[in-house]
Amino acid sequence: MPTEEFTETEMLVQWNKYAERLGQKGLKIMESILLINDPVLNGTNITYELPNEGSKLEFESQMNALLGHLRGHLHNHDITIEVIVNEKVEAKRSFNDQDRYNRLHEINPNIELLRSTFGLDLPS
């Protein structure tokens, strides 16, 4: 099984793509659960905080499919996800493209170089 290295930015991109795909399929609740908070990468372990047990149960019911997506697209089968319930978690997630771009820019400022080099704009 492949175990290629990947960055937190690459993981976040795949996480968001998976959430978007779920939303397009009509699974809006699961999409919103995936967008509540940013997952945190530590090696190949992803830690994800959720605000309550109900969202944790819903997340865990779909976790194997998410793991399959992440493992396949990041080419690393050592990836695991740990879910933590923290009732003090506030929705830190931004819901528009500019806010998502800003978050990715915080993680990796080189994304601006990529955007300007290829003349990319954020969707309106």
> What confidence score (pLDDT) does residue 60 get?
94
User: Rounded to the nearest 5°, which phi and psi values hold at 96?
Assistant: -120, 165
User: Rounded to the nearest 5°, which phi and psi values hold at 41?
Assistant: -100, 130
- What superfamily in CATH does domain 8-93 come from? DnaA, N-terminal domain (3.30.300.180)
SS3 category, 99 = helix
Show me where the domains of the chain are located.
Answer: 8-93
* 69 CB burial (10 A radius; 0-12, 13-18, 19+): middle
pLDDT digits (tens, 9 = 90+) for 46-55: 999 998 898 9
DSSP H/E element including 2: none
> What confidence score (pLDDT) does residue 88 get?
72
> What confidence score (pLDDT) does residue 99 get?
76
With cut-offs at 50, 70 and 90, classify the pLDDT of residue 19: very high
pLDDT digits (tens, 9 = 90+) for 74-106: 999 999 999 999 877 555 554 677 777 777 888
Average pLDDT over residues 6-28: 94
- Cα 90 from Cα 101, distance rounded (Å): 20
> What confidence score (pLDDT) does residue 119 get?
87
- Cα 66 from Cα 59, distance rounded (Å): 9
